[in-house]
Amino acid sequence: MNGTLDTIPIRFHPLPGEALDSWLDAYAHRLQVRTKDILALAGLQLEHHPALREMFGLRPWTPAHHPEDFAALSAVTGVAVDVLGGMTLARYNGRLLTIDHRSGQRTRGDWWHRTRPSRFCPGCLTDNAGRWPLSWRLPWSFACVTHKCLLVDNCPRCTRPARLNWSLRIRPVPGFCRRPRLSTEPAPSEAGTSRCLGDLRRAATVSLPQDGRVLAAQERVDGLIAEILDAVGTGDADHRPPSLGRLQDLDASARAALAAIHFSSELPLHARDLLVELKVTDPRTLREDQSHGGSQPLQARSMAFAMAVATHMLRNGLDELQPDTTRWLLTTAHGVRKNEAIPTAGKILTRWDRATPELQGVLLKELASTLQPHERLRYRTASPRPSAPARGTAIERSRKVPTCLWRGIALPLTPPGLFGRLPIGFRVALSRMVLAVGSGTTQEEARRLLFNYDPAGLGLQYSAMTSKLQRSGHLDQVLSAVTQLADHLDEHNSPIDYARRRAQFLNADLDWQALAQFYDAVGRTRPAPPEQRLLRVRLIERLTGTHPRFLMPPMNLAGAHVHVYERAGLRLHADVSDHLDDQASRLLQQAGINEPIRWEPPQDWINLATCDLPGPAPDGIPTARLWTAVRSGDGVEAIASQLSTSIEHIRLTAERHPLPTGKSPTSCAPKIPRNRTPTTKELQELIAQGLSNRNIAKALGYSNTFVRRLLCERGLTSAFLSGGQRSIHIDPNHLRHEYEVKHRTYAAIAESMGVSTHTIRARAAELGIVSRKDSREDHPLAQLGGPDDFPPAVWDTFTGKGAETRVRRLLLITALPTSTIAAAARSLNITPCNVHATMKKLERAAGTTLFRRSTKGMTTNLTPAGEVFAHAIRESLSRVDAARTTSDTSQARTKGAAEQTANFTHELAEAP
């Protein structure tokens, strides 16, 4: 036949579900022409049409990428275009398979290529005159539910897979093998054909029991596919029908079953029954089907076995996996090495990579008890939905976690006594666990993220701690709590960037000047060097969350010092604690960091109801009882047993509720009265000098209580109870000048006038003086005069928070032999950033350029203006130092301010 017709006179309709190639072959057979001729009738010349060759000639399952061709075919055959479109594998596209339109290749599901030849049912071929349903091309078609048999893989005559390629150049005979005839075969009876022509309808089949598992599995799969196609029909392209997930899980489990039979000779009962049903006497038969590296078409019996095992495992859904089968697939599917009894989570996920995340999660949960604690965290087996680790999570989360997990959070997670009296190492381990949750980071990396140096040798034996937890039976609860905490941190974030704090403040120093002033103002003895060191590392702990035990040597505390530190923490007074917070906040402000000083996640981030935690809840110790116990001078162990809780619980409560001021263990102990009681006249004189109750007690060497009682007895009480009486000694103009013009602090003014800070503050309030919020530091030059007595630039330079520190730094860095900021930072032991900020601040205060610029930026070399400026401030500083030495007459002080200043300078220059 040549040329084209408007329409073929004989109509020939496709069967429901028939494949396009089958229908075209049958049509050609009916017309006694070649299949090619049918296409030619529609004007489709394959020779000149590569896309069509591909579509009809080489890959009959390829979807139509040229709708107009289908339109032409529809015009001559009278079959609707959408019916024709539904006869190719395009019907499944986007759901059961994905076809790359450019290459025409399927891109998902590597079983597709292994079933390309298509299995078949001889019974169906007989019933339908050799016509071929499209569904036989699906990899999951392995049995015929109508004829209750396995599908057949090969032609009975040439034993090759049937229907591999589609030739258009022959006159097709439906139901017969049309592979090219093998040269070894005898010549066919029908002259002129070069085809095998084996009768596929006569192929032997394996019959299956009506109520057997294989047919049930095929019905389950068919049902799922029908649901998926229905869902496609609804047109919602983004919606993933749940049946697709179920099929995916069956598919993945079936693959695991094939691997399992390959590696294991110990089959569970169900699998052995299946082999009987499939009439396979030796499991090795199935193994041989598998042993071609996946290049051979997958035999129907293997697919039937695998799918039936999968259907059995998942028959009650994900909530209730069939245990025997699941265990078999999990423990043997990995089977790479014989000695590997427990598969790692990673291998499980690789093996089950086609499963839905839900099934993967359920399997990981099944495995949890056999996994290493670190893996359980990485794969989140304690969460409702375990999953594969995502890289990078730990780095992000390390910004939100302190080196030692927050004391209040760690407390309920720490079995009392299990990690000794001071479980700070365990707190580090807990922080590392938080980093491990859902993250691909190794243990080593997690440790590096929490420390700014290699903490080897600090006895941080992470795995020893987790196994200790495991032995004590608390591992599950702790892992669950840590996972919840990590999830909440990811979701809600932390207001503190701990990574930045660690980078900037691990060597932070106290402002010793401010500290000394604070001690003087509250009338305490200034701390001695050992105590100073403890205060400094306490400041660092507050800023960075790093316990001084884990600071970089030589800053770290070791051995007995750690316990001294903890003991001091227990007895730290509220006012000292507040002062440390002030200093911390000043450092943060200087670094331009707008964060709270300290923070702890809320307790409800860990659901205590779902995990029965080993340690006590953080609240629950009445502070009054704690303070009484602490004041009694008992050790922390005794206090803990007295209040029947853990030592850490006591420490935490003390940290949250420091001892109220003025009732230190020493001050509340009555002092032994002197042999002579002061006379009323002596007391009146002291009052006239403007001394406060406390200062009178100090001057006389009596306790505050004793002095108060004494004054009461002598009728001098009113003077001390009101606190306002001192106002008569205070000149309002003087107070205003000192505070508002000279920018002195209340504490410094009180000190110079010999009255209490409280009195000054109350008087200032009466006078309506607006308190400054920005600084609690006295103006360093105030003792020498007011703003009018100094050049404005010099006065301004000494004004504001940390001004004196900056000025002293300037003198130190300009004296260095090199002029880079990096060198200055090294010598001051602060960050280059900090040095740079200090220099900029100085320039702003001085209102001119003080430092020379090189091509690389700022240097520490002074400009001529800088030289003049440095000279002026050097002079001012030496006057300040001299004034401090001479004006310092307080007997209570153990150290002169000059010495303090010298120490301070020394600290700056030589701090570790």
CB 343 to Zn ion: min, Å: 40
Q: Judged by CB under 5 A, which of 124, 314, 576, 813 binds Zn ion? A: 124
Asked if residue 707 lies in contact with residue 697, where contact means CB atoms within 8 angstroms, the answer is yes
- Greatest C-alpha distance within the chain: 145
Please report whether residue 131 would count as binding Zn ion according to CB under 5 A. no
- Which of the residues 315 through 354 are near Zn ion (CB under 5 A)? none
CB 176 to Zn ion: min, Å: 8
Q: Hey, how many other C-beta atoms are within 10 angstroms of the C-beta on 825? A: 17
**Amino acid identity at 372:** Q
**Please, which residue, 198 or 402, has the CB nearer to Zn ion?**
198
Please report whether residue 196 would count as binding Zn ion according to CB under 5 A. yes
**Please, which residue, 29 or 380, has the CB nearer to Zn ion?**
29
Stretch of residues binding Zn ion (CB under 5 A), selected from 196-204, 389-397, 425-433, 893-901 = 196-204
CA distance 55 to 37: 16
Asked if residue 744 lies in contact with residue 779, where contact means CB atoms within 8 angstroms, the answer is yes
**Please, which residue, 160 or 852, has the CB nearer to Zn ion?**
160
- DSSP letter assigned to residue 737: I
Tokens (6 digits) for 123: 């019974």
Question: What does the per-residue mask of binding to Zn ion show for 614-653, with x meaning CB under 5 A?
Answer: ----------------------------------------
**Amino acid identity at 709:** R
Q: How many Å from the N-terminal Cα to the C-terminal Cα in the chain?
A: 100
CB 162 to Zn ion: min, Å: 7
CB 317 to Zn ion: min, Å: 30
Tokens (6 digits) for 553: 């040597």
**Please, which residue, 205 or 311, has the CB nearer to Zn ion?**
205
Give how many residues touch Zn ion by CB under 5 A: 13
Please report whether residue 198 would count as binding Zn ion according to CB under 5 A. yes
- Which of the residues 485 through 514 are near Zn ion (CB under 5 A)? none
**Residues facing 149 on adjacent strands:** 144, 207
CA distance 108 to 89: 13
Upstream peptide bond of 658 is cis (omega within 30 degrees of 0) = no
CB 27 to Zn ion: min, Å: 22
Asked if residue 529 lies in contact with residue 537, where contact means CB atoms within 8 angstroms, the answer is no
Stretch of residues binding Zn ion (CB under 5 A), selected from 53-61, 114-122, 503-511, 619-627 = 114-122
**Dihedral pair phi/psi, residue 615, rounded to 5°:** -100, 175
CB 154 to Zn ion: min, Å: 8
**Please, which residue, 124 or 873, has the CB nearer to Zn ion?**
124
Q: Judged by CB under 5 A, which of 39, 121, 314, 621 binds Zn ion? A: 121
Determine how β-strand 851-854 pairs with β-strand 143-144. Answer: unpaired
Q: What is the DSSP annotation of 213-233?
A: HHHHHHHHHHHHHHHHHHHHH
CB 167 to Zn ion: min, Å: 13
CA distance 604 to 1: 83
Q: What is the DSSP annotation of 662-709?
A: T--TTTTSPPPPPSSPPPHHHHHHHHHTT--HHHHHHHHT--HHHHHH
Label residue 185 exposed, middle or buried (CB < 10 Å: 0-12, 13-18, 19+): exposed
CB 182 to Zn ion: min, Å: 8
**Please, which residue, 155 or 508, has the CB nearer to Zn ion?**
155
Rounded (10°) CA dihedral 633, 637, 643, 646: 140
- Which of the residues 145 through 184 are near Zn ion (CB under 5 A)? 146-147, 155, 157-158, 177, 179
CA distance 105 to 83: 22
**Please, which residue, 144 or 686, has the CB nearer to Zn ion?**
144
CB 15 to Zn ion: min, Å: 13
847: left (phi over 0), alpha (psi -120 to 50) or beta: left
Stretch of residues binding Zn ion (CB under 5 A), selected from 5-13, 123-131, 425-433, 723-731 = 123-131
Asked if residue 435 lies in contact with residue 401, where contact means CB atoms within 8 angstroms, the answer is yes
Question: What does the per-residue mask of binding to Zn ion show for 80-99, with x meaning CB under 5 A?
Answer: --------------------
Stretch of residues binding Zn ion (CB under 5 A), selected from 117-125, 183-191, 703-711, 863-871 = 117-125
CB 136 to Zn ion: min, Å: 10
Interface positions with Zn ion (CB under 5 A): 121, 123-124, 144, 146-147, 155, 157-158, 177, 179, 196, 198
